[in-house]
Structure 1
Amino acid sequence: MAMFLPLTIFLISLSSFSSSPSHAKDTLTPADMLTDNQTLVSAGGIFELGFFNETISGYHYLGIWFKADATKVVWVGNRDVALLDSSGVLQIRSGNLLLSDRRLVQVIVNAENVASSPNTTATLLDTGNFVLKEADTGTVIWQSFDVPSDTYLPGMELGLFELNTTQPSYNILVSWASPQNPARGLFTLTMDRINFTKLTVWRGDGRQMDIAFWDGQHLRFIFDNTTENNDYTFRYQTIDEEAAYYTFSNNKKYDLIWFVMSSTGNLDQFFLANGNIWSVSHSLCEDSSGGNTGKCLATLPSMCDRGDDFSVMNGSLPSAFNNGSIYMGTSDCETLCKSNCSCTAFVAVQDGQPVCQLYYQSKKDILKVVDEKGSGIIYIRGGSTSSSDGKNLKFWLAIAVPLAFLLILMPISLCCYLHYGKRLQASRQQEIINSDQVRLFQIGSTDVSPIQYNGAKIANIMELGRQKDQELPLFSFSSIQTATNDFAKANKLGEGGYGPVYKGLLMDGREIAVKRLSEISRQGLEEFKNEVLVICKLQHRNLVTLLGCCIEGEESILIYEYMPNKSLDSFIFDSTKRKLLDWRKRMNIIEGIAQGILYLHKYSRLRIIHRDLKTSNILLDSDMNPKISDFGMARIFTDSDTKGKTSRVVGTFGYMSPEYAMGGLFSEKSDVFSFGVILLEIISGKKNIAFFEADDPLNLLGNAWSLWKEGKSNELMDSTLSGSCSSNEVTRCIQVGLLCVQERAMDRPNMSDVVSMLSNETFALPLPKEPASWSQLSSTDADSSSSRQRYQSTIDVTTSTIHASK
């Protein structure tokens, strides 16, 4: 407690300069709603919480800043999910801090620790800490100090936690993308993962520098020449091999001292005294004096001739000029453009919506077609060119070009002419390699040299990374090795038909799922490419997000957002876990899956047939929301397509429609059949395939059909659901499932009708016909096992499942 005494003294003294009234509200309750023009102010009037906007893009963020100086933002609550405009709202729902805007996309601010009680309050403290706690007991559920942004305040714990588990957590600082943009930037300040006595800064290219070490009594920074700094006191703490962290307090000389990991790679130290704020910027250099030795950890140098600076202008550009648009923030879009030296400009906001449109025409051509009345924001590499500049340029070109031509023509030799083609090809190949390396530098740690890329891999990178209407971040293999602890067994989440899946942790603190192509996998590069090309174009809350890929040597790796609750089958087929899924949660999962499939079939930029829908391909996030994954078998349909045919039927036995399994025919109705199986499995808690394995004369579909005809549908229901739902709801859902698994594709409803059936109780349901599998197993062939064998022999069956790690 002694370490907090100086902090208490500063809080008392600081209240003298605050102009905030004593009755200012510092607590958010379930009855409150914080909007753009409202704030919380800490009890002493020191810190303020509310919404602020990025001046260039107009995006809004939830943040905490000093009441005396709103430009000094110390924490950002939604760095990865910016709000579109001033429509942002913060409120407490079901005990959690919920952030949303006019898009109605909800972000749980305290996603790391979700509340179990709906009776909570959130208070902004004079320390700058925003604390969510149970109203009755005062137990802290979550606090902003545990998820710092770029600022290190007194009392914060910077380090590693839960070290004795397979999923340790990290409190780190990540710089802003730029002085104006609070998105995650290039620099990360963290405790060294091996030697806990050191603090290390990592740059986006994987380069690192130790900037401080614990000498047993004090934390010594490389820019500190004294043996002991009297401005602050650091403490190094360990807890029973579970945690190791640093925390600090400032002395009486200043009201407050804090540190900021800046977007330029410097460590800025701020001081507050008597209401005044000033700072000192420390270059992180290898010599202790902080001088310019050329070995400083500074911002990445540009690899493009025109640099990485962009001028900003209002307006819009014709759609014919851009290479398609994708949904991402300004910072990510800028990173994509910077990574490709051919990118001349990009648009990050169009008609008030966040987009990312990249342009590759000459800057001169782009400036000719800019519609200055448009509502977008255009970023042009190297600055804009005025008309007068253009006239001067033409004048000098008229003189310089003929002269340059004569000077160049004279020394040209036949040898240079003969070798010109080879040199041009080598130059273009090197530009490709350099551009890919820039992307690797900015996304992950890499020491890859151009020689490691053979011709085949360059072609693959070009095909996957430079599609006409999509670019996907490329991770280096070394960064994935680091994130997964060299693919440690403890980080393995499971294994599917593609290969093993591992949990990983990036240097910026993001948790990821890493899917690595196995050498013995029946799926290969074609499925890898297919998944990348399909899922890149999709954005929906019920589809898993693909963060990037890695193509290096013989490695083909996909990097996804991490789903903490693993896959749906790990819950509904587990006798213990399925008790956690009451009727409401199961219905939420069913409806979410239906919405995701409907988006694929009707509302996405492309019409997608998934072809491998099953419970193991439905992942669950921290709030048990379903996300469809694994698009390796998916197929893209045009508007005129109604069905397709393949000679290689690949899927999972028990989920495939009969027309696909027996004849290779697939359509939207194939996915509808798979959804029907999943729905019945969720309700019953039983596998459809399990009936076959037990040589049961009725599979799950046949059993559901038999009970429905006898008016005993509720007997199919999982016994753990007893008392949590009405019999009418269960019967209606089972009927929807039976409608989806009818034998003839034309009899099945489309996903639009399915969504209506599930969400609208007044929607009249037709009577279902016999399910496909029931009809086949009720044929004149009495030997059900032989029927099953003939059915199975026609398909390349996969029974891949990802199980939760223990």
Structure 2
Amino acid sequence: MALFLPLIFLMSFLSFFSYSSLATDTLLPSDTLSNSQTLVSAGGVFELGLFSESSSGYYYLGIWFRADASKVVWVDRDNSIVDSSGLLQIRSGNLVLTDRRQVPLIVNSLSLANVTNTSATLLDTGNFVLKGADTGTTIWQSFDIPTDTFLPGMKIGLFGLNTTHQGFHILVSWASPQNPSRGLFTLSIDADDHTKISVWRGDGTKMNIGFWNGNGLRFVFENSTGNINNFSYHSDEHDVFYTFSTTKNYDLMWFVMASTGTLDQYFMLAGKISNVSHALCGDSDGGNTGRCLTSLPSMCDDVIFSEMNGLLPSTTSTGSIYVWTNDCETLCKNNCSCTAFTSLHNGQPGCQLYFGSKQNLLKIIEKGAGSIYIRGGASSDGKKRKLWLAIAVPLASLLISISVFSFWYLRCRRKHKEDQVTRRESDQARLFQMCSNNASPIQLDEVRGANNMELGRQKDQDLPFFSFSAIKTATDYFAEANKLGEGGYGPVYKGKLLLEGQEIAVKRLSKISRQGLEEFKNEVSVICKLQHRNLVRLLGCCIEAEESILIYEYMPNNSLDSFIFDSTKQALLDWERRMNIIKGIAQGLLYLHKYSRLRIIHRDLKTSNILLDSDMNPKISDFGMARIFGDNDIRVQTKRVVGTIGYMSPEYAMDGLFSEKSDVFSFGVIILEIISGKKNIAFFDVDQSQNLLGRAWNLWKEGNGLGLMDSALHASCSSSEVMRYIQIGLLCVQERALDRPNMSDVIFMLSNESVALPHPKEPAFLTQLSSTDADSSSSRQRYYSKNDMTISEVDAR
């Protein structure tokens, strides 16, 4: 952040000083932190509370210096509050934010508590820590999700490298001095050389701004001031990171990755704060230009290593460090300060790098059965003459070859580009026709224009085209941190449109997916004609080269299965919310089956395809498998069965017959899953054969239907309502399609509690459906999925 902030931003922070503290540094389960209250660290250094972002009026949970509230050091960027009604409290052991919408926003969502007795403390280091009250074990801490500020004791780097739960700590600048959302500049350990620190700009420009020289971290902006030696570097098979401590000359020192692209260094002494802004770039706008890179050696004089017998000293005081990697030569070669290296011989990957002078190295080499590889050895002039000869001869031949080859290359390249444009325009024209009421088959000029827009509509066009460059910018180049999940189609990323500021969900076709262009076209042709509050809204699509991308409205609460099957999040869905979700799904299905411009059978309805918006309203998504029914169609048979085991109706799974009643069956499974908090296909009783439907039926026959209910609902539900919803669920999963109600009947039963319900018969699939059962008909192709991932092949209609 810049030192001098705009006046309006400073005025928005004046309200901090009128806050009332809880007179404590700790939040307990019995406490509630409102917008007008704060936590203060024990030594009075830091303060935590909700602050208002001046441009939008949103409120964020943040940590700032008590002596200067404008110096915000941490922000919960992912959970913004719409007004001043925000509250922070501990629920079920987790830190939860709420506002007037009463939607629970879990601050520690990446590391959920497995105990309910927890407390959260703001430390004098600026770290906000959630711990188990009984064990004292750290569950989550703000230092693990830095924003733009690097505080002493914080770690920047990569973690869990050899595990399935890899993580990274990076700094991302604010969007502007007034806006704490993610900006253009990212600081982190370099992905190729972990001894370097790099800064990336939003357009992909990268600059190395610091490297480890064996004694400390050397920054490119350091001149006569020397190294900042209070940094330390750690590398092993699991973690690689930098951390630092405050020098003895100051009470506190820290760094900020500013929104302008500078690295600002702050100092606190006797309560007063000063700063130095380190320019990483040569232009006036703070952008990364080629001139900046000259501050760091761009190439090394010596690229050849000579071998010598012996061992490097084992102490780091001699100017060497240990790095956990197999490619020691590349790592040393790419760091011009590295003089020599040796591979470790303990059966594990790793090497020792030496950063001192060659003269000193020859004096300290120890005897032993090892090999040391020392950079170069010939004089600088000799190497330059050899390098010139090595380059000059092949260069002359290369110039002759280029003159002959260039004509044919350019011709082929132009032809390839024309073919590529033709294929892309052909695909775009077909998609254009799918979503236009009266579109002519040839309207390529309009398609070309739409392809270069970020988001816009053309005449008679219902679905906008996004450019691939706009999608890359919106998702921060498909950053792993923005990945929401992955299904049979491919990965889904969170993004934000640069101009509109609208949050979006981006579904990108995976190159290894068995779902392809047919599903892409199918989803576009189906969903672009639909408008309902319980259906996810398709905002546009992108087709460029090999890319096929769908852009949706962003659902901040992810999918329904992430709540009802999570033992921690289940408590956040009380009975009232679960009823509203069931009713919302029913309304969306009724629209698809009866009231939309097209009659549509979804064919892959399941909890992971039900998304939840910020108010926990359900929205049906993923129409890649949907089929459009004619007005006179009652039931259709397919040779290729698609769907997810546990949700498919018996007539569809066994014979390929599907109709509206197929979706009704899936809806019935979802009702029982919402009530029980258990997956149908993953549920086992004591004999390891009975699924959720069998369990529900047996309990119903015994008059103990409430035994199916999720234990988290006991305090919030009406037993009569639960029994009624279980009965409706059982009616929807009847074995014969004729015995199931249609969605109009379901809506009526859900809305009229006084109307008596018919008694259900024994439902279908009371035991687990095995692959052998499913494939009893060898003449029919079936594509089932496990782990809620649909893998399929769609046949032409």
TM over 0.5: yes
1:800 is matched with 785
2:355 is matched with none
Any idea what the Cα deviations from partners look like across 1:224-254, whole Å, max 9, x if unmatched? 1147346x6111123x411111111122322
What is the rounded CA distance, in whole Å, between the counterparts of 2:97 and 2:268 in structure 1?
31
Q: Out of 238, 242, 257, which is 1:242 matched to? A: 238
One-letter amino acid matched to 2:784: T
What is the rounded CA distance, in whole Å, between the counterparts of 2:78 and 2:266 in structure 1?
26
**1:632 corresponds to 2:631:** no
For 1:123, what is the secondary structure of its paired residue? strand
1:594 is matched with 582
**Residues 613 and 674 in structure 1, CA contact (< 8 A), matched pair in contact too:** yes
Q: CA deviation at 1:147?
A: 0.9
**1:740 corresponds to 2:732:** yes
One-letter amino acid matched to 2:48: L
One-letter amino acid matched to 1:30: P
What is the rounded CA distance, in whole Å, between the counterparts of 1:108 and 1:630 in structure 2?
26
- TM-score between the two structures when normalised by the length of structure 1: 0.57
Cα 1:178–1:258 shift into 2, 3 Å: same
Q: CA deviation at 1:527?
A: 3.1
**Residues 113 and 141 in structure 1, CA contact (< 8 A), matched pair in contact too:** yes
1:767 is matched with 758
2:26 is matched with 27
Any idea what the Cα deviations from partners look like across 1:311-340, whole Å, max 9, x if unmatched? xxxxxxxxxxxxxxxxxxxxxxxxxxxxxx
Any idea what the Cα deviations from partners look like across 1:46-76, whole Å, max 9, x if unmatched? 2111111121221111111111211111111
**Residues 35 and 86 in structure 2, CA contact (< 8 A), matched pair in contact too:** yes
For 2:179, what is the secondary structure of its paired residue? coil
Superposition map of 1:175-190 within 5 A: 175-190=173-188
**Residues 152 and 244 in structure 2, CA contact (< 8 A), matched pair in contact too:** yes
What is the rounded CA distance, in whole Å, between the counterparts of 1:610 and 1:569 in structure 2?
21
Cα 1:461–1:114 shift into 2, 3 Å: same
Any idea what the Cα deviations from partners look like across 1:641-687, whole Å, max 9, x if unmatched? 999988979743774569999998855x6533311134457868654
One-letter amino acid matched to 2:198: T
**Residues 473 and 548 in structure 1, CA contact (< 8 A), matched pair in contact too:** no
Q: Out of 258, 262, 267, which is 1:266 matched to? A: 262
Larger Rg: 2
Any idea what the Cα deviations from partners look like across 1:3-46, whole Å, max 9, x if unmatched? xxxxxxxxxxxxxxx99999932221111111111111222222
For 1:251, what is the secondary structure of its paired residue? coil
Cα 1:478–1:101 shift into 2, 3 Å: closer
**Residues 20 and 37 in structure 2, CA contact (< 8 A), matched pair in contact too:** no
What is the rounded CA distance, in whole Å, between the counterparts of 1:517 and 1:280 in structure 2?
46
1:524 is matched with 517
What is the rounded CA distance, in whole Å, between the counterparts of 2:774 and 2:120 in structure 1?
62
1:612 is matched with 604
Structure 2 unaligned regions, length at least 5? 1-16, 294-417, 429-443, 497-502, 766-771, 790-797
What is the rounded CA distance, in whole Å, between the counterparts of 1:547 and 1:65 in structure 2?
38
Cα 1:227–1:680 shift into 2, 3 Å: same
Superposition map of 1:281-680 within 5 A: 281-285=277-281, 295-296=291-292, 461=451, 466-467=456-457, 474=468, 475-476=471-472, 496=488, 498=489, 516-517=509-510, 521=514, 523-525=516-518, 527=520, 530=523, 534=527, 551-557=543-549, 594=582, 597-598=585-586, 600-601=588-589, 610-614=602-606, 617=609, 630-634=622-626, 651-652=642-643, 655=647, 671-679=663-671
Any idea what the Cα deviations from partners look like across 1:579-617, whole Å, max 9, x if unmatched? 999999998997686256246358999898644213665
**Residues 43 and 124 in structure 2, CA contact (< 8 A), matched pair in contact too:** yes
**Residues 255 and 273 in structure 1, CA contact (< 8 A), matched pair in contact too:** yes
For 1:177, what is the secondary structure of its paired residue? strand
**Residues 271 and 277 in structure 1, CA contact (< 8 A), matched pair in contact too:** yes
One-letter amino acid matched to 1:799: Y
Q: CA deviation at 1:553?
A: 2.0
- TM-score between the two structures when normalised by the length of structure 2: 0.58
Cα 1:590–1:751 shift into 2, 3 Å: farther
Structure 1 unaligned regions, length at least 5? 1-17, 298-425, 437-453, 486-490, 573-577, 775-784
One-letter amino acid matched to 2:119: T
For 1:675, what is the secondary structure of its paired residue? helix
Q: CA deviation at 1:712?
A: 7.2
One-letter amino acid matched to 2:232: R
One-letter amino acid matched to 1:280: V
What is the rounded CA distance, in whole Å, between the counterparts of 2:621 and 2:19 in structure 1?
50
Superposition map of 1:741-760 within 5 A: 741-742=733-734, 743-744=737-738, 746=741, 752=747
What is the rounded CA distance, in whole Å, between the counterparts of 1:177 and 1:629 in structure 2?
31
What is the rounded CA distance, in whole Å, between the counterparts of 2:557 and 2:626 in structure 1?
25
Q: CA deviation at 1:741?
A: 3.2
Any idea what the Cα deviations from partners look like across 1:681-709, whole Å, max 9, x if unmatched? 7868654999xxx9x9x9997x6898589
**Residues 464 and 529 in structure 1, CA contact (< 8 A), matched pair in contact too:** no
What is the rounded CA distance, in whole Å, between the counterparts of 1:787 and 1:270 in structure 2?
66
Q: CA deviation at 1:517?
A: 4.4
Q: CA deviation at 1:114?
A: 1.3
1:174 is matched with 172
What is the rounded CA distance, in whole Å, between the counterparts of 1:156 and 1:681 in structure 2?
42
What is the rounded CA distance, in whole Å, between the counterparts of 1:734 and 1:137 in structure 2?
40
Any idea what the Cα deviations from partners look like across 1:757-786, whole Å, max 9, x if unmatched? 9xxxx7665024547969xxxxxxxxxx99
**Residues 174 and 259 in structure 2, CA contact (< 8 A), matched pair in contact too:** yes
What is the rounded CA distance, in whole Å, between the counterparts of 1:243 and 1:273 in structure 2?
33
1:233 is matched with 230
What is the rounded CA distance, in whole Å, between the counterparts of 1:665 and 1:189 in structure 2?
53
**1:106 corresponds to 2:104:** yes
Any idea what the Cα deviations from partners look like across 1:402-459, whole Å, max 9, x if unmatched? xxxxxxxxxxxxxxxxxxxxxxxx9xx9xx99xx9xxxxxxxxxxxxxxxxx999958
2:221 is matched with 223
Cα 1:687–1:34 shift into 2, 3 Å: closer
What is the rounded CA distance, in whole Å, between the counterparts of 2:510 and 2:292 in structure 1?
38
One-letter amino acid matched to 1:521: R
Any idea what the Cα deviations from partners look like across 1:371-427, whole Å, max 9, x if unmatched? xxxxxxxxxxxxxxxxxxxxxxxxxxxxxxxxxxxxxxxxxxxxxxxxxxxxxxx9x
RMSD (Å) for aligned C-alpha atoms? 6.2
**Residues 696 and 708 in structure 2, CA contact (< 8 A), matched pair in contact too:** no
For 2:180, what is the secondary structure of its paired residue? coil
For 1:600, what is the secondary structure of its paired residue? helix
Cα 1:244–1:642 shift into 2, 3 Å: farther
What is the rounded CA distance, in whole Å, between the counterparts of 1:753 and 1:771 in structure 2?
22
What is the rounded CA distance, in whole Å, between the counterparts of 1:34 and 1:477 in structure 2?
36
**Residues 268 and 280 in structure 1, CA contact (< 8 A), matched pair in contact too:** yes
Query: Greater shift after overlay, 674-683 or 526-535?
Result: 526-535
Identity %: 47
Cα 1:109–1:202 shift into 2, 3 Å: same
1:73 is matched with 72
What is the rounded CA distance, in whole Å, between the counterparts of 1:675 and 1:103 in structure 2?
27
What is the rounded CA distance, in whole Å, between the counterparts of 2:663 and 2:455 in structure 1?
29
For 2:663, what is the secondary structure of its paired residue? helix
Q: CA deviation at 1:263?
A: 1.2
Cα 1:274–1:619 shift into 2, 3 Å: same
Aligned residue-pair number: 588
What is the rounded CA distance, in whole Å, between the counterparts of 2:118 and 2:83 in structure 1?
28
Superposition map of 1:191-206 within 5 A: 191-206=189-204
